[in-house]
Chain A
Amino acid sequence: MNELYAVAAIAERDLMKFLRDRSRLIGTFVLPFLLMGLLGGTLQLNLGRATGFNFIGFTFTGVLGMTIFQSTAAGMAWLAEDRFNDFAQEMFVSPVSRYSIVFGKILGESLVALAQAAPLVLFAIVLRVSLSPEQIALMLPVAVISCLLERSARGQPDLSVPDPAAVFPGGGLQPDRHPAVVLGNPVADLPHAVRG
Chain B
Amino acid sequence: MSQPDPAAVEVRDLVKRYRKAKVNAVDGISLRVEAGEFFALLGPNGAGKTTTISILTTTLAPTSGSIWICGHDLAREASAVRRQVGIIFQNPSLDMNLSGEENVRLHAILYGLYPYRPAFRLMPAAYRAQVRDLASVLGMESEMFRPVKKLSGGMQRKLEIIRGLMHRPKVLFLDEPTRGLDVASRRSLWAYLREVREQYSVTMLLTTHYLEEAEQADRLCILNHGRIVAMGSPGEVTARPGDEYLELDSTDRDRLRRELTGMNLQFEEDGIFTVRLDKRSAHEVIRSLEVPLSKLRTRQPSLEDAYLRILADE
Taking Cβ atoms with an 8 Å cutoff, the residues of A that contact B are 1-2, 4-6, 8-10, 12-13, 16-17, 20-21, 83-87, 89-97
With A86-B92, A92-B59: A16-B112 Cβ-Cβ less than 8 Å: no
Task: Kindly report which residue of chain B lies nearest to residue A6, judged by CB atoms.
Answer: B110
Interface membership of chain B positions 94-135, coded 1 if the CB is closer than 8 angstroms to chain A and 0 otherwise: 110110001001110111100110100000000000000000
| Residues on A with beta carbons closer than 8 Å to the beta carbon of B25 | none
Is B255 part of the binding interface, using a Cβ–Cβ cutoff of 8 Å?
no
Residue pair B59, A83 in contact (C-beta under 8 Å): yes
Contact indicator B82/A21 (Cβ below 8 Å): no
| Binary contact readout B143-170 vs A (1 if CB under 8 angstroms, 0 otherwise) | 0000100000000000000000000000
Decide: B83 and A95 in contact? CB cutoff 8 A. yes
- With CB as the reference atom, state the residue of chain B lying closest to A20: B97
Chain A nearest CB from B133 CB (Å) reads 21
Q: Are B82 and A95 in contact (CB under 8 A)?
A: yes
Q: What residues of chain A lie closer than 8 Å to B60, measured between beta carbons?
A: 84
**Nearest CB of chain A from residue B176's CB, rounded to whole Å:** 14
Q: Which residue of B lies closest to A101 (CB)?
A: B110
Residues of A contacting B58 in the complex (Cβ-Cβ under 8 angstroms): 92-93
Q: Is the Cβ of A89 less than 8 Å from the Cβ of B102?
A: no
Please state if A17 and B98 are interface contacts (CB–CB under 8 Å). Answer: yes
What's the Cα separation between A96 and B82 when bound, in Å? 9
Q: Which residues of B contact A10 (CB under 8 A)?
A: 106, 110
Q: Name the residue of chain B whose CB is nearest to the CB of A16.
A: B98
A84 and B95: CB pair below 8 A?
no
Q: Is the CB of A9 within 8 A of B91?
A: no
Docked complex Cα distance between A12 and B112 (Å): 16
Residue of A nearest to B106 (CB): A9
Q: How far is the CA of A14 from the CA of B94 in the complex (A)?
A: 14
Tell me the B38-62 residues at the A interface (CB within 8 Å).
Answer: 54, 57-60
Question: In the bound complex, how far is the Cα of B89 from the Cα of A94, in angstroms?
Answer: 13
Given contacts A8-B116, A89-B89, contact A17 B109 (CB under 8 A): no
Contact between B59 and A5, CB atoms less than 8 A apart: no
- Given A16-B97, A84-B54, do A93 and B82 touch, yes or no (CB 8 Å)? yes
Are A9 and B95 in contact, with the CB atoms below 8 A? no
Q: How far is the CB of A8 from chain B (nearest CB, A)?
A: 5
Q: Answer whether residue B261 sits at the interface, using C-beta atoms and an 8 A cutoff.
A: no
Q: List 8 A-B contacts (CB under 8 A).
A: A5-B112, A13-B102, A17-B98, A84-B60, A89-B89, A92-B59, A93-B82, A94-B110
> How distant is A28 from chain B, measured CB to nearest CB, in Å?
16
Q: How far is the CA of A94 from the CA of B87 in the complex (A)?
A: 10
Report the Cα distance A20→B96, complex, angstroms.
10
Asked if A5 and B116 make an inter-chain contact with CB atoms under 8 angstroms apart, the answer reads yes
| Most chain A beta-carbon contacts within 10 A, residue among B54, B58, B82, B110 | B110
Closest CB in chain A relative to B231 CB, distance in Å = 26
Answer whether residue B300 sits at the interface, using C-beta atoms and an 8 A cutoff: no
CB of B85 closer than 8 Å to a CB of A: yes
Q: Is the CB of B111 within 8 A of A9?
A: no
In the assembled complex, the CB of A43 is this many whole angstroms from the nearest CB of chain B, namely: 37
- In the complex, the answer to whether B97 meets A84 with C-beta atoms within 8 Å is no
CB of A194 to closest CB in B, whole Å:
30
- A97 closest partner in B (C-beta): B79
**B93 within 8 Å of A by Cβ?**
yes
Q: In the complex, which residues of chain B have a beta carbon less than 8 angstroms from the beta carbon of A86? A: 91-93
B115 touches A5 (CB 8 A): yes
Q: Is the CB of A93 within 8 A of B97?
A: no
- Measured in the bound complex, the distance between the Cα atoms of B167 and A94 in whole Å is 10
Query: Given A12-B118, A84-B54, A93-B57, does the pair A17, B95 have CB atoms closer than 8 Å?
Result: yes
- In the bound complex, do residue B59 and residue A89 qualify as a contact, i.e. CB atoms below 8 Å apart? yes
Contact B97 A21 (CB under 8 A): yes
The listed residue with most B CB atoms (<10 A of its CB), out of A20, A89, A91, is: A89
Residue of A nearest to B102 (CB): A16
Give Cα A68 to B164, complex, Å. Answer: 35
Question: Measured between alpha carbons, how far is A1 from B113 in the docked complex, in Å?
Answer: 12
Q: Let me know if A87 and B94 touch, CB within 8 A.
A: yes
A93–B111 touching, CB < 8 Å: no
Q: Which residue of B lies closest to A19 (CB)?
A: B97
CB B16 to nearest CB in A, in angstroms, measures: 13
Q: How far is the CA of A97 from the CA of B83 in the complex (A)?
A: 12
* The 6 nearest A-B residue pairs measured at CB: A5-B116, A94-B110, A2-B112, A95-B82, A9-B109, A8-B116
Q: Is the CB of A93 within 8 A of B59?
A: yes
